[in-house]
Amino acid sequence: MLVSIDARPEPLEIDLGRTTIMVVDMQNAFASVGGMFDLVGQDVSAAKGVIQTIKKLTRAARAKGVKVIYLCMSYAPDMSNSGGPGSPNWHKEFGLAAMNRHPQYRGKFLIRGSWDADIVDELKPEEGDIVIEKSRYSGFRGTSLDVVLKTLDAKYLIFTGIATNVCVESTLRDGYFLDYWPILVADATNNAGPPVTQEATLWNVEALFGWVATSGNVLKALG
């Protein structure tokens, strides 16, 4: 089914039969009071609105048979998938860096099976949804995401989640490099850092890597 999304820099026609909704890192660590972001001083207040917006989008997508794919950042309890001290990931990835800086949090952030790593209750996956764990910012790095998308014959990826300028943008860029068509839903994402980081990602996507839409226009396209 072909539909048109009113997006920037221009409207984009997509085939809903080849479209997925990407829900990136909507985990307690990034979106909940008491999670990693909150504990280390990141403002998570905007996450409430993002959660409700994503809930509307995923509900509409499922009703149209559009596949919902969750990406989740997580580490094995023994950190065997972290890269270790010899990897830049160990020093720069938000959770690992925070645990290195704050010894009291070691072994607590984004550990597989923990509350911190769980998807927020309001967005729990439903039957037919796909959940893919990752240990790098990009959902394509070291995961089955590309194989899953090709199996679905997906072409258009509608991006939502946290953080806009980190895991969302990293995954979106890699998707672009793999010839998927990325659409970023501006009000279904939340950034890490000052407001300019959100603005920069929106500019990057609109100008260089894909299309930017509002949730209202995506919902209209989903019909």
Q: Is the pTM higher than 0.75?
A: yes
Per-residue pLDDT tens over the stretch 177-218: 999 999 999 999 999 999 999 999 999 999 999 999 999 999
Give the range of the structural domain holding residue 66, as residue numbers without chain letter.
2-222
Q: State how far Cα 6 lies from the chain centre.
A: 22
Task: Give residue 111's pLDDT.
Answer: 97
Per-residue pLDDT tens over the stretch 101-121: 998 998 999 999 999 999 999
**Is 167 in the active site?**
yes
Alpha carbons within 13 A on the beta-carbon side of 164 = 27
Residue among 72, 116, 134, 174 flagged as catalytic = 134
Residue among 48, 167, 187, 220 flagged as catalytic = 167
Instruction: Note the helical H segments in the chain.
Output: 28-31, 36-39, 47-63, 88-92, 94-101, 145-151, 169-177, 195-204, 215-222
Residue among 25, 38, 118, 174 flagged as catalytic = 25
Q: Please give the share of the chain, as a percent, with pLDDT higher than 70.
A: 100
- Give the CATH number of the domain where residue 100 resides: 3.40.50.850
Contact in structure between 15 and 155 (CB atoms under 8 Å): yes
Total count of domains within the chain: 1
Q: Crossing angle for the helix pair 47-63 and 215-222, nearest 10 degrees?
A: 10
3 state SS of 86:
coil
Beta bridge partners of 158: 21, 183
